[in-house]
């Protein structure tokens, strides 16, 4: 039986009081109006929930109304009976009888309406109670309420999960009966006495529980109950223990662990474990807050670092091997594994790195590799490593057009040493020979042992035969020096055969074989000598010997003479200076260029006398020209590196200027870029002394050395001479044009003039002038001339035609390129109607020259041409002349190549053969419009150029 609601109890009490009221008739004194007011008041109280007070007021009103007589009493009795039935049954479906339209009927209706509202409120309260109970029962936490005596008043269904007990069986039980004992029971008792709240963690039934206790108070402030909310924190405890275990494991790990921040925080170190401190020598305080770059020291050029940076930026795992450095500077090999750490949303917040010191393993690996590639007796490279290095040397020589000399060396009569002194003595001799060979060559060269008494030398970058000749002489002399073996002094000799790349072989095997053949030829000729595989190179060595002999007497026999090559200003076309160039008229070998004999003169110590002669003769000739009124121009002289560093060079120069005599401003000295950078500080000092004399200075062969711009800006120079290697292919090579343009821009920013060397064509001249080059020197204007011819040139004041100085600018010029003449003729006929200037070329190479000499707005080219395809041609033109509109007109095309060219912007449009004449003219006109707009955009102009067709 459910408990009796309070309202029903109140109703029953009111009815009982009514029965005890006695005679009601005497007390019915209220008027109908007053009665109605009382009834309404009673109805209001009932609607507000004070049911028992409302009924009492209702009964009191009936009790006080004596005007209505027994009719009133009988109706009140009926209403009282209905109320009693409702109170007894608890049902809201009973209704008071409504009879007529008088005041009693209104009272009955109000009573019935009151009962309807009570029924609605009851139903709602039952629904709310059901919802609250459902929420409590479905909570993942155990919720319970205990009274002050610590007996369970309420518990949700989770009690079955936590204590394996049905909720109804838990009601009325104490904590002890529920299995709650010890400190938890004590905590509850304290709260029941003192109030407040507490949180307590404890273990129960193999689980870790956390209970939040709250002492509840009634309206009078007295402790009425204890509310308990319990949750299972086993998973959290396990996770926390796992974190503590992981932390202890990281701290105890033998492998260094590093935790860094993510990219937005600069990859700074946030944690290092003790193993890191032991490995690197850096304490945690010294490492935390820094980027790991400090472990790399100055060793930043490592392939692994690039891979590591890429992985960090891409937020992925990476595994690399790096060279790292301890605090004391010692190196160790670090096998590094890096993994990103992500938060709940997948964003990377940190990186964790594990370091493994693999130094011992790498050293062992290097030792094994060394054993696999080196001779165990001498430590020299074996055949495997020799072949690899020779292939690399060939690749380098092929790319930079250099020579490589391969020497095959065999000891003479080595077998006699083995037979007489034994193999141990023979091994000792081989070791000594290996050391001597290594001492005879440069560090960049290779000495290898093939086996027995056979050795191979790879001499890299043989710019001329002199280097090879001297290396060979050093080897022969060194090997022939006596050596003490097994207590005996012995002397051995060797025979050497040479093969030279590229003329004697294009691969390693061929070169070694040909050198071996030449070595046997050396043995046939008596041993202790060297032979070349080719007669041509052999003849050059003989020539070198003849030059060495003749050079010593050249000055005495007056075999030297000076030729003069003019320099021309590209803004006026006039000669601005002449360069003095030495020539040697050998009685047998004819005229010899300076590149062939100057290095030999430097080696023989003759360059000082020759250089002084050049200075004196050049200054004398220039003074003579001035005196004769031929020309008042500077004369330029190349200075040898040995002269430049000579201590008394400034004194020598001052004496020559006094003796000739020549105005110092009319003398210009050229030093090479590589020479100036060998000792930049000394170069600055000497150059300043030269400027103090009033002498002009030029940097020769600029672009071929390794200039340091920090020093370059301090050099007191007047002119930079652009090396001929950049000028030679400037018309066809975008890279050469870009480098030349960069040199010109840099020189002008430093207020220096630029002279282009080796200008041999009008196309080169026009392009250089168009890009702002100040001067030119080369065969296009004049080769180096003997004194008499140069004098004649200066007297006639020969100049460059002004129309050659720059690209011709004619409005709307189109270039047609096709290797079929009839196609060019047909296109010319069609395009004449446009009124544009038409240039034609039968090949891409011819087109390059036309592009250099003329400002061309539109190019229409065939795709399939002999030297290069149209797409390949346009790929270069795009970088050299970016504003030019480039179009392909072809009946054949590699679709992929053309599509790619269009995508990268090399080709504006692709047109098919045959063509529609009107459509073609329209497209050409649109192309010119585009060109003019692009020129306007690139030049930053505000008005469109006026174009006439």
| Cross-strand partners of 344 | none
Query: Rounded to whole angstroms, what are the CA distances from 148 to 196, 199, 770?
Result: 13, 19, 104
pLDDT of residue 11: 46
Name the burial class of residue 896, with classes exposed (0-12), middle (13-18) and buried (19+) by CB atoms within 10 angstroms of its CB. Answer: exposed
- Rounded distance, CA 123 to CA 375, Å? 104
| Model confidence pLDDT, tens digit, residues 203-215 | 877 788 888 999 9
pLDDT at position 34 is: 44
How many other C-beta atoms can be found within 10 angstroms of the C-beta atom of residue 126? 10
pLDDT of residue 948: 35
| Nearest in space to 927 (alpha carbons), one of 846, 855, 853, 856 | 856
Q: What is the dihedral of CA 555, 559, 560, 563, to 10 degrees?
A: 170
CA dihedral 82, 85, 87, 92 (to 10 degrees): -70
Distance CA 58, CA 70 (A): 17
Query: Which of helix, strand or coil describes residue 809?
Result: coil
Are 633 and 579 contacting, i.e. CB atoms less than 8 angstroms apart?
no
The three-state (H, E, C) secondary structure of 385-412, written as one string: HHHHHHHHHHHHHHHHCCCEEEEEEEEC
- Rounded-to-integer distance, Cα 818 and Cα 831, Å: 15
Strands 488-490 and 348-357: unpaired
What phi and psi, each to the nearest 5 degrees, are found at residue 784?
Answer: -60, 130
* pLDDT given for residue 847 in this prediction: 93
Q: Are strands 454-459 and 488-490 parallel, antiparallel or unpaired?
A: unpaired
* CA atoms of 61 and 30, how far apart (whole Å): 8
- Whether the Cβ atoms of residue 647 and residue 604 lie closer than 8 Å to each other: no
Each as own residue / partner, the long-range contacts of residues 840-843 (CB below 8 Å, 24 or more positions apart, any chain) are: 840/815, 840/816, 841/815, 841/816, 841/817, 842/817, 842/818, 843/817, 843/819, 843/867
Distance in angstroms (rounded) separating the CA atoms of residues 913 and 888: 10
Residue ranges for the chain with pLDDT beneath 70: 1-73, 75-76, 79, 87, 89-93, 98-104, 463-466, 534-542, 673-678, 705-712, 893-898, 900-905, 938-949
What is the per-residue pLDDT for 946?
Answer: 36
**pLDDT of 561-591, one tens digit each?**
999 999 999 999 999 999 999 999 998 888 9
**pLDDT at residue 31, as a whole number:** 41
* Tokens 């004391």 belong to residue: 328
CA-wise closest residue to 744 among 761, 726, 728, 762: 726
Stated pTM of the model:
0.49
Is residue 323 within 8 A of residue 308, CB to CB? The reply is no
Residues near 912 by beta carbon (within 8 Å), at least 6 away in sequence:
889, 890, 891
Whole-angstrom distance, CA of residue 445 vs CA of residue 396? 13
Residues whose CB falls within 8 Å of the CB of residue 108, separated by 6 or more in sequence, listed in order: 75, 79, 96, 97, 98, 99
Task: Enumerate the β-bridge partners of residue 276.
Answer: none
- Contact call for residues 921 and 828 (beta carbons, < 8 A): no
Which residues are within 8 A (CB) of 602 and not within 5 positions of it... i.e. 6 or more apart? Answer: 640, 641, 642
The tally of CA atoms less than 13 A away on the side-chain side of residue 902 is 12
For residue 808, the 8-state DSSP code is B
DSSP assignment letter at 628? H
Residues comprising the chain, all counted? 949
For residue 947, how many other CB atoms are within 10 A of its CB? 13
Beta strand 719-722 with 696-702 is parallel
Q: Is the dihedral of CA 368, 374, 376, 382 positive or negative?
A: positive
- Render 508-524 in DSSP notation, one character per residue: HHHHHHHHHHHHHHHHH
Q: Are the C-beta atoms of residues 292 and 271 closer than 8 Å to each other? A: no
CA distance 166 to 169: 5
Instruction: Specify the pLDDT at position 390.
Output: 93
pLDDT at 942: 43
Instruction: Please report how the helices 734-749 and 870-880 are oriented relative to each other, as an axis angle in degrees rounded to 10.
Output: 0
Instruction: Supply the DSSP string of 178-194, one letter for each residue.
Output: TT--HHHHHHHHHHHHH
Sign, Cα dihedral of 744, 746, 748, 750: negative
Rounded Cα distance between 669 and 639, Å, is: 7
Reduced 3-state DSSP string for 240-284: HHHHHHHHHHHHHCCCCEEEEECHHHCCEEEEECHHHHHHHCCCH
| CA–CA gap between residue 389 and residue 400 (Å, rounded) | 17
Q: Give the CA distances from residue 782 to residues 595, 727, 793, in Å, rounded to whole numbers and listed in that order.
A: 20, 16, 9
């Amino acid at each position: 039986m459910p408990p009796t609601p309070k309202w029903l109890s109140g109703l029953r009490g009111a009815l009982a009081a009514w029965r005890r009221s006695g005679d009601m008739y005497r007390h019915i004194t209220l008027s109908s109006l007053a009665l109605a007011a009382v009834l309404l008041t009673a109805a209001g109280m009932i609607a507000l929930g004070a049911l028992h007070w409302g009924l009492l007021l209702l009964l009191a009103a009936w009790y006080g109304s004596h005007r209505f007589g027994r009719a009133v009493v009988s109706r009140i009795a009926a209403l009282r009976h209905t109320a009693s039935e409702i109170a007894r049954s608890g049902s809201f479906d009973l209704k008071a009888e409504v009879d007529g339209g008088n005041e009693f009927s209104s009272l009955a209706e109000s009573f019935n309406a009151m009962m309807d509202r009570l029924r609605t409120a009851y139903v709602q309260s039952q629904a709310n109670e059901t919802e609250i109970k459902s929420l409590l029962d479905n909570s993942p936490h155990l919720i319970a309420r205990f009274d002050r005596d610590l007996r369970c008043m309420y518990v949700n269904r989770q009690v079955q999960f936590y204590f394996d007990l049905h909720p109804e069986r838990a009601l009325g039980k104490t904590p002890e009966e529920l299995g709650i004992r010890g400190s938890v029971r004590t905590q509850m008792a304290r709260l029941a006495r003192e109030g407040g709240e507490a949180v307590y963690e404890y273990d129960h039934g193999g689980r870790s529980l956390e209970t939040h206790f709250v002492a509840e108070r009634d309206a009078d402030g007295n402790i009425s109950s204890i509310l308990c909310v319990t949750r299972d924190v086993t998973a959290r405890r396990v996770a926390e223990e796992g974190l503590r275990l992981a932390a202890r494991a990281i701290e105890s790990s033998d492998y260094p662990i590093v935790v860094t921040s993510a990219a937005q925080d600069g990859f700074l170190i946030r944690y290092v474990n003790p193993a890191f401190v032991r490995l690197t020598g850096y304490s945690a305080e010294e490492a935390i807050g820094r980027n790991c770059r400090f472990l790399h020291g100055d060793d930043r050029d490592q392939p692994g670092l690039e891979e590591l940076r890429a992985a960090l930026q891409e937020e992925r795992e990476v595994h690399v091997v790096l060279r790292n450095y301890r605090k004391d500077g010692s190196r160790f090999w670090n096998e590094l594994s890096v993994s990103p750490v992500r938060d709940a949303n997948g964003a990377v917040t940190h990186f964790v790195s594990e370091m493994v010191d693999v130094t011992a393993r790498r050293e062992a690996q290097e030792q094994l590799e060394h054993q696999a590639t080196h001779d165990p007796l001498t430590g020299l490279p074996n055949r495997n490593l020799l072949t690899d290095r020779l292939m690399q040397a060939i690749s380098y020589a092929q790319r930079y057009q250099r020579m490589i000399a391969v020497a095959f060396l065999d000891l003479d009569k080595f077998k006699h040493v083995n037979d007489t002194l034994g193999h141990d003595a023979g091994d000792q001799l081989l070791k000594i020979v290996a050391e001597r060979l290594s001492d005879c060559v440069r560090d960049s060269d290779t000495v290898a042992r093939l086996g027995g008494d056979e050795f191979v030398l790879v001499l890299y970058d043989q710019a001329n035969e002199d280097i090879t000749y001297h290396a060979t002489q050093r080897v022969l002399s060194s090997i022939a020096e006596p050596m003490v073996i097994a207590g005996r002094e012995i002397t051995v000799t060797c025979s050497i055969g040479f093969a030279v790349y590229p003329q004697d072989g294009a691969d390693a095997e061929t070169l070694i074989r040909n050198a071996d053949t030449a070595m046997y030829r050396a043995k046939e000729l008596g041993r202790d000598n060297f032979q070349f595989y080719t007669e041509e190179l052999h003849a050059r060595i003989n020539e070198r010997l003849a030059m060495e002999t003749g050079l010593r007497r050249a000055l005495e026999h007056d075999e030297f003479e000076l030729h003069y090559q003019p320099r021309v200003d590209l803004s006026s076309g006039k000669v601005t200076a002449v360069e003095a160039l030495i020539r040697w008229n050998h009685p047998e070998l004819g005229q010899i260029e300076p590149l062939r004999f100057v290095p030999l003169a430097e080696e023989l110590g003759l360059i000082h006398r020759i250089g002084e002669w050049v200075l004196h003769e050049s200054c004398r000739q220039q003074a003579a020209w001035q005196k004769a009124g031929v020309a008042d121009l500077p004369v330029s002289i190349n200075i040898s590196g040995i002269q430049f560093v000579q201590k008394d060079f400034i004194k020598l120069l001052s004496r020559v200027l006094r003796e000739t005599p020549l105005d110092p401003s009319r003398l210009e000295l050229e030093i090479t870029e590589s020479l100036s950078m060998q000792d930049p500080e000394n170069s600055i000092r000497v150059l300043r002394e030269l400027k103090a004399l009033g002498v002009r200075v030029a940097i020769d062969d600029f672009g071929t050395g390794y200039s340091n711009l920090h020093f370059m800006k301090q050099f007191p120079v007047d002119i930079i001479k652009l090396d001929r290697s950049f000028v030679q292919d400037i018309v066809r090579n975008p890279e050469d044009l870009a480098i030349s343009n960069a040199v010109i821009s840099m020189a002008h920013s430093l207020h220096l003039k630029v002279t282009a060397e080796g200008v041999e064509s009008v196309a080169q001249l026009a392009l250089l002038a168009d890009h702002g080059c100040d001067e030119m020197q080369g065969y296009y204007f004049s080769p180096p001339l003997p004194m008499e011819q140069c004098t004649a040139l200066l007297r006639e004041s020969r100049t460059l035609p002004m129309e050659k100085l720059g690209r011709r600018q004619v409005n709307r010029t189109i270039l047609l390129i096709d290797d079929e003449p009839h196609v060019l003729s047909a296109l010319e006929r069609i395009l004449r109607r446009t009124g544009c200037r038409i240039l034609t070329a039968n090949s891409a190479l011819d087109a390059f020259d036309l592009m250099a000499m003329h400002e061309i707005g539109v190019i229409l080219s065939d795709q399939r041409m002999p030297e290069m395809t149209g797409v390949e041609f346009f790929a270069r033109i795009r970088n050299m002349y970016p504003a030019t509109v480039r179009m392909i007109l072809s009946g054949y095309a590699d679709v992929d190549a053309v599509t790619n060219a269009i995508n990268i912007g090399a080709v504006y449009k692709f047109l098919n053969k045959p063509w529609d004449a009107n459509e073609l003219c329209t497209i050409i006109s649109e192309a010119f419009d585009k060109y003019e707009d692009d020129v306007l955009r690139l030049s930053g102009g505000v008005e469109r150029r006026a174009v006439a067709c």
